[in-house]
Amino acid sequence: MSRQLSSWVSLHSFRRVGWRNERTALGKLHTALGRVEPAIECLEKAARNGLTHKGWHEHDSSLDPLRGHPRFQELVGNLD
């Protein structure tokens, strides 16, 4: 496991704080692993279930690898 990913996992333990947050955490983990499609799918599911904070999606640096992807851009464009 890379140092960056290991640090991320340590900082973002998967506490059961709600389904939307779990999907978001999984999306961020997929992003860290370079799995773009599964990452976006998780974030889309979280958004469909109420996680619609556009600012978070726009400014969370862990999502930077997704920013150029058309599905991510569409997701962010449809958020509140």
Q: What is the pLDDT of residues 8-49, one digit of tens each?
A: 554 554 444 444 578 888 899 899 999 999 999 999 998 988
Report whether 39 contacts 66 (CB < 8 A).
yes
What are the boundaries of each domain within the chain?
Answer: 3-77
Provide the 3-class DSSP secondary structure of residue 46: helix
pTM for this one? 0.74
The per-residue pLDDT for 24 is 87
pLDDT at residue 68 greater than cutoff 90? yes
Alpha carbon of residue 22 to chain centroid: 10
Distance CA 17, CA 65 (A): 25
Average of pLDDT values for 55-63?
90
